[in-house]
Amino acid sequence: MKRKALLLLGTALLLTGCGGAQSTVSDSSESIMTIGDTTYTKGDLYDLLKAASGGNMSVELIRQAILDEEIGRGDEIKQAAQDSYAELESNTPDIEDQLISAGYEGKDDYIDKVLIPNAQYEKLTEKYFDDAKSDIRSEYKPSVVKIIQCDDEKTAQKALEAVQDGTELDKVYEEYSSDSASYSNEEVLITTQSTDLPTRLINTMYKQKDAGVADEVFTSESGSGTTTAYVAILVDNDYENIKDQIIENLSSSSDFSTQCLVYYLNKYNFTVHDQTVFDYLKENNPEYLVEFPELSETDESQS
């Protein structure tokens, strides 16, 4: 059933709205231990756990709910987890003993709690690049190109004319490319994260309709006043054609897992009802409070 996993979470900790409310557990007055004249209840334990690690646990719960909702635990996922364990076992014969020492009940517990979520997350990554295609294209402007990096604009102009005249690229690179160039005669994926390249170059390659060299030289100036010039040759900017390269490039970013999670938190209209959890997320992960985007914007402006 759609959103079932997330709704189940809502009954425990992650609900709708905030407003200073505090979540509770059923049978909160039920005793769980007694020391002398002091009795501790389910509610006492819950409040203690929530104060100590409620925020972290909440993020993990919602992450797992998204994985189960979006990917599920079908045969393909279970097989991938089993394969991962088999590889681990072949490299570490006493792995199950180590898992038990680490607090797992054994092989099945580790597969269920670690390897299945890992397999789900790998699939979610692929799914995210389909679901969020429009957002990714507009934010990152990806394209596959060849870059000729030159020491100055005059040299780059000569390189551009050579390419336009049909000179073999190997010869163009050999004659005009800077000795300290970061780019060779190889295809590379560029995005808005390619901070060493001029913004205009990235935008032009993203918008260019046909493969081939751009009819202009792109320049950038370093802090020391040195100018670097570039000739850009579009190979492909069709998202579907270059998606695998986009996934490989962007999923390694430290921000990727957060962006992926935020995308699905928005999809499911994630909100927090408990004030303790809300305060934790506001302090540590304001971007997860998708109902209050201004909190994340404020955090970014102060960084």
pLDDT in tens, 62-80: 889 899 999 999 999 999 9
Query: Tens of pLDDT along 223-241?
Result: 677 889 999 999 999 999 9
**Are residues 188 and 145 in contact, defined by beta-carbon separation less than 8 angstroms?**
yes
DSSP string spanning 64-131? HHHHHHHT---HHHHHHHHHHHHHHHHH-TTHHHHHHHTT--SHHHHIIIIIHHHHHHHHHHHHHHHH
**Are residues 190 and 107 in contact, defined by beta-carbon separation less than 8 angstroms?**
no
Q: Structural domain boundaries of the chain?
A: 4-134+247-302, 143-236
pLDDT at 7 over 60: no
Measuring CA to CA, which residue among 300, 169, 153 is closest to residue 219? 153
Rounded to whole angstroms, the Cα distance separating 198 from 200 reads: 5
Query: Tens of pLDDT along 139-184?
Result: 999 999 999 999 999 999 999 999 999 999 999 999 999 999 999 9
Q: What percent of the chain shows pLDDT beyond 90?
A: 63
- Topology (CATH) of 143-236: Chitinase A; domain 3 (3.10.50)
Backbone angles phi, psi at 61, to 5 degrees: -65, -45
Query: Tens of pLDDT along 103-141?
Result: 999 999 999 999 999 999 999 999 999 999 999 999 999
